[in-house]
Amino acid sequence: MLDIREIRDNAEEVKARLATRGGDAQNLINEVLACDERRRAVETEKQQLQSERKSSSKAIGALMAQGKHDEAETAKEAVKVIGEKIKVLDTEADTVTERQNHLLMSIPNLPHANCPVGSDEADNPEIRTWGNKPEITDPLDHVALAEKHGLIDFDAAAKISGSGFAVYRGSGAKLERALINFLLDLQTEEHGYSEVNVPHIIRRYCMEGTGQLPKFEDDMYGLEDGAMFLAPTAEVPVTNLVRETLLQESELPIKMTAHTPCFRREAGSAGRDNRGIIRMHQFDKVELVQAVHPDKSFEVLEELTGHAEAALQKLGLHYRTIELCTGDIGFSATKTYDIEVWSPGQDKFLEVSSCSNFGDYQARRLRLRFKDADGKNHFCHTLNGSGTALPRLYVALIEQYQNPDGSITIPEALVPYFGKTEIA
């Protein structure tokens, strides 16, 4: 969440930067300030009453020692009244604090000062491209290729779970597994991430910690009346591994990677984007998470984005990297790069990774701090990126590597994991 001190000291700037996101989050700032002012006023009044009660209690003791029992009883009644006033103030303070926290949890992060200003994805600038579009005459899309080779069974998945799910069979299942192992080995052996295997069911406060709640609750699969959730992304359980932690500066950076299934209710708009495995209710992903020193987080964002891009380069897949504008950036992020891989069958780029710097926004919710050399505590900065999401990587790979006879070449980097050079 945002720092209340930043809101107090720079309210107009905070409003202006929030306004570039679109929506009406900036309109909540005045109410946050009103709650904050009342909360502090109540605390001041309560402290005054507590001081008065303490003084009165001492006076009662003196009166009792002097034998002035009637005066002592009168003073006791006055102290009782003070106690009742304090209880009323405690209740008001709790109510105001709860409201202020709810508001702060509902306000997105501030876009970085250098974040391109725009309304939606049409305003996202392209940063770079890698490789060239493969020259394929009349390319088949991944659904046709999967049907030809028996890779994916959508009918079986529909019988089990409905639309938005897939059953991978034979070489299709092995290709999925090969990609997961390839991605994990790349990030652990070449980029220094520590692999973790985390639970896929997550407590509510962990979802709040990374910013999925309360904003996106309708998109999540909730359990036990909203007390637990299926993981929408590995970012949530992996980042929460360091929640409520006070690290030493020497322990930074922390770099973790994990493979998890991800579960989301919203599977996209109707039409071609819903064809096949491009948008799914359940999909696999390899995630990259870092907790770093605040002075290094934007440098690390460039590095982390490069780690995700490296997977596509080793697989020889044509892609581009864009920067998200203020109107398209995620709720908790201050700066984000999206990596989009080319899909010949769709004749367009598909997002396969989103790499974000959250600044201290998540760390405040998670109470994730580090102690510097002078013994002062500071909030860490957190980052994450998909390294990468499997369905669209799978789509791009079989579509970009399809041959005129319908066979699919397996890229050299994947052969040790898949065991064959092609799917014929």
351 is in an annotated binding site: yes
CA 156/CA 153 separation, integer angstroms: 6
234 is in an annotated binding site: yes
Q: Which residue has the tokens 């997550």?
A: 202
392 is catalytic: yes
364 is catalytic: no
Which residues have CB under 8 Å from 147's CB, separation 6+? none
Of 17, 21, 369, 392, which is the active-site residue? Answer: 392
Of 17, 21, 53, 279, which is the active-site residue? Answer: 279
196 is in an annotated binding site: no
- How far, in Å, are 7, 98, 172 from residue 178 at the CA level? 48, 48, 10
176 is in an annotated binding site: no
Closest-CA residue to 338 (of 327, 347, 329): 329
235 is in an annotated binding site: yes
353 is in an annotated binding site: yes
| H or E, element range at 348 | strand 348-357
311 is in an annotated binding site: no
SS3 state at 362:
helix
279 is catalytic: yes
264 is in an annotated binding site: yes
CA 164/CA 275 separation, integer angstroms: 9
129 is in an annotated binding site: no
386 is in an annotated binding site: yes
Of 354, 364, 365, 399, which is the active-site residue? Answer: 354
340 is catalytic: no
Of 17, 39, 264, 369, which is the active-site residue? Answer: 264
Backbone angles phi, psi at 136, to 5 degrees: -125, 125
CA 241/CA 265 separation, integer angstroms: 25
Backbone angles phi, psi at 112, to 5 degrees: -55, 150
Instruction: Report the binding-site residues for L-serine.
Output: 233-235, 287, 386
Q: Tell me the catalytic residues.
A: 264, 279, 351, 354, 392
Instruction: Report the binding-site residues.
Output: 233-235, 264-266, 287, 351-354, 386
Instruction: Report the binding-site residues for ATP.
Output: 264-266, 351-354
